[in-house]
Structures are given as structure tokens and as C-alpha cells.
Amino acid sequence: MAGDIINVGEKDFKAVVLDSPKPVLVDFWAVWCGPCRMVAPIIDELSAEYKEKMGFAKVNVDEAPKIASAYSVMSIPTMIVFKGGKPIEQVVGFRPKKDLQKLLDKALVQ
């Protein structure tokens, strides 16, 4: 069972991501992006495993280009961990689950 991954756009990004009391992993993606589809099931698994500790959100870069631009997202998938309203960790491109787990664990102890 996957955790709750919230699709966010320009109207709710601040409330869901920046104002979150927990760190939030944001997956910047697009429908046409093959590597994005490859990483999606991994993020689903992680959202279930980390749901008590972290929030998870997805931003479709085609629907919310201002958010992507604000965080200099040039390639997708890009995963950014936000904590206290600021980006603290970022990876670009497909990564195996263990790499993303390290990213989340590192963010949780910062």
C-alpha cells in the first residue's frame, strides 16, 4: 500500500510543501518522461515506508512551470527534499531505491 503522494501545483505548493511541518520529497516529472515513469513506483514504495516521517508530493512540470523554474529544474525527473520551506537535497535522473533511501535518511537527520 502506497503512502499519500499529493499532486501539487502553483496554487497549493506553498501550503503542501513549504509550510509542511515534516520534510517533503517533491518529484518533478512529466507524463511524456520515461525515466519519470520508472522512478514513480519507487517513490510510491518510499512514501509508504516513510509516511510517518516525511511528506511526498509530485509536480507536473508541464502544468506548473513556474515552480520548476523557481527551483532551477532543468531535467526530469528531479527529486528535491524540502525542509523548513527550503530545498536541502536534490537528485536528478533515475536513481535506484537505495540511493533515494539514503537521500531521505540524510534529510531526516539534518
Active-site positions read 33, 36
| Amino acid at residue number 95 | R
- Pick from 108, 10, 16: nearest CA to 67: 10
Locate all alpha helices (DSSP H) within the chain, ordered by sequence.
13, 34-49, 65-70, 97-109
